[in-house]
Structure 1
Amino acid sequence: MKKNYKTKFHQRQYMLSKDFEIYYYEDNAPSAVKEHIHNYYEFYFFLEGDVSIMIENKLYPINVGDILLIPPNVKHYPIIHSHKTPYRRFVFWISTEYCNTLLSQSPDYVFLMQHACVKKEYIFHNDIFAFNIIQSKVFRLIEEMNGDRFGRNAQISICVNDLILHLNRIAHEKMYRKNYLEETSLYQGLLSYIEEHLDENLTLEQFAIKFYVSKYYISHIFKNNMGISLHQYITKKRLYACKNAICANMSITQAYLMFGFGDYSSFYRAFKKEFGISPKEFREIHITKETLSSLGT
């Protein structure tokens, strides 16, 4: 980045432009900044320095590659711990009016802004590869804003929207990839636990204690993945286990007691609903087939 693209730091906390502004700051002995708020969104791309950020009375340590998003009317200020390394960062301001314009085109443009406002999560970590891509997009925007090539204004608009959409995309994919992995892990854990404890009393309350999540969340995840309720799945697993046990010449009573049915009447109703015949009818059909098979007919 050329030195003339860097901006001398100023304490101004209001926008001169109607839509957006971007600055590249590097300070060897930065002056203190008081706690403040503003009426626009502020993206803060951390490049170098020994700095933390105080946001709404909570201290956030930051590392190279971190991005902070400060929504309007959120109190914040930086804390400089030492001057051993320069304090370098990009600061990108976007007006609420411009966000609303983007929102009218697609809600994908403002996912991150809405997330920060609702969830009160302001810091987003990136590895060096992801941050290098972000930096290249920021550099391109700054270079375009400092140039005078044909189509400058149109290209600036494209660069700004591309940067904003990219930030939203990587945040969304990271958040929902994490959720997907967590949900998949929970779902697979439920299947394994059911398989290993089919003979026990299995309840949503028991699963909630075992997996440290609410029973409502378990019901939701299981239904989304299996297409049937957890209770329906357990019943089906028990019925097929009983069916296989009966085929292996276990008595009906032993089978339904072994696989979690508390009484014969509930077992009978569930079995007939699933297979269309009673357990005794199924056993008789199976015995007949076995006899005929042994006779070679």
Structure 2
Amino acid sequence: MKLSVIQNKIEEILNKHHLTIELPKSPQKMQEFSSLIDSQDEIVKDLNLFSGNFYQELEMDSPYINTHFDSGLLAGNVQLHSHSFYEILYCTDGTVQYLVSDRRYHIQKGDIVFIPPGVSHCPIFYDDMKMKYSRIVLWVSNLYIKTLTDQWNLAEISSDLLSTAFLLRTDGTRLADLGRYFTRGLYETDKKEPFWATILYANTGALLSELFRATTLYKDNLPTARKDSLDPIISFIEYHFKEKLSLEAVAKEFHISISTLGKLFKDRLNTGFYHFITQRRLIYAKKQIELGSAMEEIAVTCGFSDYSSFYRAFKKEYGISPREYKTLIENQGDGSAG
């Protein structure tokens, strides 16, 4: 669902219930809005748009580029998800730990995180804490990337560069001025002065070029977090999620108790062990749908027993069927979704 559509629905709910709450303008603020009024039963019934994996269901408003500023408490309502577009985060303040695919990053002020389409990601929590951090979020569509590479003949932007997630540390380095691209994009989007879209598209192209250059020249600025007990377990699941996995078998593999393993997922990732595996399988399934694989084949290769099980899990997690998702992606590919 597009952010603009969600905003319109929220505005309708506010008017219906005669509420004077500031209209939220970003995904995080929308979930804070939902939490703010979740004690009022009538309103909760109207807020079914927040059910399921909210972040997983987000779509771009523009067929090319969206950007917004997000700030607030990152509580346990953000689960493992992926997008059909590129997501680039620029941390302006605070700190947070993030799982991107099977790698864990400690994100701090000045860090830039590049997340390609179909790559699973979510925050990791420690000691039931709520993390507050501010970031500028940039969404870039596959259509924009294709237009950029085709029209500019940018052979240097390889498929490896576009498909690899990374964290770039800029604070206190020669890369510190990369933040200006994010603030400029945000300014153009907010002000919408003459030729703002042209400047936004050119600014984003320059930013992407700078990021890809930096990953090539400054590999020392690509840090990872210190090892954690969760890391090898996530890596194990990443390599085996297509297979039959049980809580007992994975606990035995890492010489820990079943209760310890279950608690680790609940505390750090805000979800159960089996739900996490289902989410990972579905993220892989989405990618296969985008590639045009047959639905029945996808169900089996992703680790589901049959298509019916796959269909039910997909519908429950995302609110649409696998075939509806295929139609949605096809519309985005030709620009008709914007």
TM-score by length of 1: 0.49
TM-score by length of 2: 0.44
| Structure with max Cα Rg | 1
- Per chain length, whose mean CA-contact separation is higher, i.e. which structure has more relative contact order (CA < 8 Å, sep 6+)? 2
